[in-house]
Structure 1
Amino acid sequence: MDVEIRHLRMIGAISEAGSLSGAATRLGLTQPALTRQLQRLERAFGGMLFHRDRNGTRPTALGELVVQRVRVLVPSVDELIQEARQHGAPLSDGPARIRVVAHPTPLPGPITEHLHELAPEADITLRQERSGQTAMELLAGGAADLGVLAEHPGMPLDRPPGVTVHTIATEPLFIAVATGHSLANEFEISLADLSEENWILPQGLEIRCAEYLRGICANAGFIPRIAYRLDSFNAREFLRRGLGVMLAQATFRLEEGISVRPFAGARPDFRHILAFRTDSPLTPLTDTLVSSAIRAYWAKADQAPVYRSWLSRTDELAG
């Protein structure tokens, strides 16, 4: 007989259940029917796969070898089938899997919401990845379909083969301080005035962002003292308590006890991007998702009064 994937599933079920009766229940078969199929499989494999007695079933030496292979082969075949179905039909034809990898920016939420609207039957998952290079590797390797990412134009992420990148917006980074800080109400902060401050960096942030901070501080004549590397919750708590200062996206959602101000010479150095795997099921939706991301970004910007003021002043100076 030819061994099919359903036969391998049956072997796996017998191994996991530890008895023919338990496996038959899982598989929706009668025990005699399962016994007959197992006997045919054992003839195909050339020996007994399970010892059977009144205490249940346990693999023979040959059975253990087959069971080990089944544990690898069945999940791999399932994944292959799912990916083949995903690539073979448009999203509107049925459920699909969409895997998103994202940086902590304002865009993952609106983009994911829009994906649910475009593909209501899809299985959509998202993982936050602080390393942009890791995110690009996931896309290039086929482990993700869409990246909602950010980069510094002076330190761009790699563009691996098979990944296309679309710029959504470029914004400045501002300075976040406690509302009780002496500079909290200034329209613009001089970086040189922060030379004695303790600086906060989010925990796990990739090295190039620390390099960016050191670069702008070096231009202001000092080396920043990076005292704290904290998760988002603790970073905000340290800010409120005046224990340090940190860079913040201009679209940073204002919170009680925290003030976000531009610094002198701030420029659009923080670029929001969408990165697509070129053979992903999202390829037909690229233009729609890019347009949606642009609208979502500027909606967030409109909710940031300090950023709006900075944009207005920048436009006036440019004019």
Structure 2
Amino acid sequence: MNIELRHARIVTVIDQVGSISKAASELSVPQSSLTAQLKRIEDAVGGRLFVRSSSGVVPTSLGERLIPMLTELVQRADMVVVEAAAHATKVFRFGNSEWTPPSLHSALQSSLPRTEVQTETLSPSAAVDAVRRGWLSAALVPCMSLVEPGDRGEPALDTAVIAREPVWLAVPQGHPLSAEPALEACHLASLNWVRYAQDHWFHPIEKLLFTRFPRTKPEVLHYADGHHEAMNWVRDANAAALTTPTGATSDVSLVPISGTESTEMVMVWRSGSFGRATLARLVETVRSYYCAYARTIPRYWAWMKDNPADFPELLRYLRTA
């Protein structure tokens, strides 16, 4: 019997889930059939790949040598399928979080003139998963920690930091704090707050900053599901919220915070899915777009120009602006 791709996938799934029964469920085949297939595979390679125990299966010494190679075979085959599909459809799908301005679509389309560009707005974790599965060609997500290593057998991801955004305060226009050059934590404790839901990507960053407030517990009016909802509450309920500058809307005022945290805007794609020239062009396009968008936020753009060391990936754009 020759080893085929389907055999490599069977071994990879068993190794990932650590159980014959779970692998059978994952592959939608009867457990008896999967056991028989695994036996034929082991006969073909000349030895057992797994040892069964009451808690599942673990690789044998032969398995430890062969399973990584079989896993790599599956990964490469998946990449071939994705690349062939992308070539056949000539579609570049780009994911973005919170909301996707038409200007981002236009920038990407200009950089890929012979390819149809489609954009989609979805949560950061969903965007990373869609890139890993090949549904999205690439995505822009906030926070490097969201791009976690995949399970064995899943395609590897590559990343490039587009910009490192500070976290600022959003208050209603005309608010007494809106004219301050920068705020200390003591200025923030007495405000009425909009905070972010616990499953929102910004929540851990917000939580860290709130630990720096004085002991008085700030009043929270609402827990929002996204930046734009939070900004509506800031505008209409005389509330305050933490946000990245590009997460704010034009009808609120942004104020820098001294010693603030920052979050990375990261472009993510499947390893090897782009040629070097195309990848460089995409990264440059997204960084250039970020700067163009930052220009529409006067206070933020001025801050970037005055603090170029905080934006190492964008230095060439700040120097020529």
**Which TM class, normalised by the smaller chain length?**
0.5 to 0.7
Identity %: 17
CA distance in 2, matches of 1:289, 1:99: 12
Is 2:136 aligned against 1:140? no
Q: 1:239 aligns with which of 234, 239, 247?
A: 234
Report SS of the residue matched to 2:136: coil
CA distance in 2, matches of 1:156, 1:87: 25
Which stretches in structure 2 are left out of the alignment for 5+ residues?
Answer: 1-78, 311-321
Report SS of the residue matched to 1:311: helix
Q: Against the structure 1 CA distance between its residues 225 and 134, is the aligned structure 2 distance closer, same or farther, given a 3 Å change threshold?
A: farther
Report SS of the residue matched to 2:211: helix
- For 1:288-308, what per-residue CA distance to the aligned partner results, in whole angstroms no more than 9, with x for missing partners? 000111112222223322223
Q: Against the structure 1 CA distance between its residues 120 and 308, is the aligned structure 2 distance closer, same or farther, given a 3 Å change threshold?
A: closer
Q: 2:243 aligns with which of 248, 260, 264?
A: 248
The AA in structure 1 aligned to 2:166 is P
Specify the alignment match of 1:172 in structure 2: 166
CA distance in 1, matches of 2:186, 2:162: 31
Q: Who wins on radius of gyration, i.e. which is larger?
A: 1
CA distance in 1, matches of 2:133, 2:247: 32
The AA in structure 2 aligned to 1:271 is E
Q: CA deviation at 1:172?
A: 0.7
Specify the alignment match of 1:102 in structure 2: 96
1:173–1:249 Cα contact (<8 Å) kept: yes
1:86–1:97 Cα contact (<8 Å) kept: no
Is 2:284 aligned against 1:291? yes
2:98–2:227 Cα contact (<8 Å) kept: no
- For 1:85-113, what per-residue CA distance to the aligned partner results, in whole angstroms no more than 9, with x for missing partners? 8724986xx7423222211367x644422
Q: Against the structure 1 CA distance between its residues 308 and 99, is the aligned structure 2 distance closer, same or farther, given a 3 Å change threshold?
A: closer
Is 2:147 aligned against 1:157? yes
Report SS of the residue matched to 2:118: strand
Q: TM-score, normalised by structure 2?
A: 0.59
Matched ranges for 1:174-189 at <5 A: 174-189=168-183
Specify the alignment match of 1:307 in structure 2: 300
- For 1:112-166, what per-residue CA distance to the aligned partner results, in whole angstroms no more than 9, with x for missing partners? 2233234445443322122x22222221122221111111x6x453143421111
2:93–2:138 Cα contact (<8 Å) kept: yes
Report SS of the residue matched to 2:166: strand
Q: CA deviation at 1:276?
A: 0.9
Is 2:267 aligned against 1:271? no
Specify the alignment match of 2:10 in structure 1: none
- For 1:39-83, what per-residue CA distance to the aligned partner results, in whole angstroms no more than 9, with x for missing partners? xxxxxxxxxxxxxxxxxxxxxxxxxxxxxxxxxxxxxxxxxxxx9
Q: TM-score, normalised by structure 1?
A: 0.59
Specify the alignment match of 1:261 in structure 2: 255
Instruction: State the Cα RMSD in Å.
Output: 3.4
Matched ranges for 1:1-319 at <5 A: 87-88=83-84, 95-104=89-98, 109-120=102-113, 122-130=115-123, 132-151=124-143, 155=145, 157-160=147-150, 161-201=155-195, 206-222=199-215, 224-230=218-224, 234-252=229-247, 255-256=250-251, 258-267=252-261, 269-278=262-271, 280=273, 285-314=278-307
Which stretches in structure 1 are left out of the alignment for 5+ residues?
Answer: 1-82
2:231–2:241 Cα contact (<8 Å) kept: no
1:177–1:240 Cα contact (<8 Å) kept: yes
The AA in structure 1 aligned to 2:255 is R
CA distance in 2, matches of 1:239, 1:111: 26
The AA in structure 2 aligned to 1:249 is T
Q: Against the structure 1 CA distance between its residues 253 and 282, is the aligned structure 2 distance closer, same or farther, given a 3 Å change threshold?
A: farther
Report SS of the residue matched to 1:183: helix
CA distance in 2, matches of 1:86, 1:144: 10
CA distance in 1, matches of 2:90, 2:221: 45
CA distance in 1, matches of 2:282, 2:290: 12
The AA in structure 2 aligned to 1:248 is T
CA distance in 2, matches of 1:314, 1:220: 25
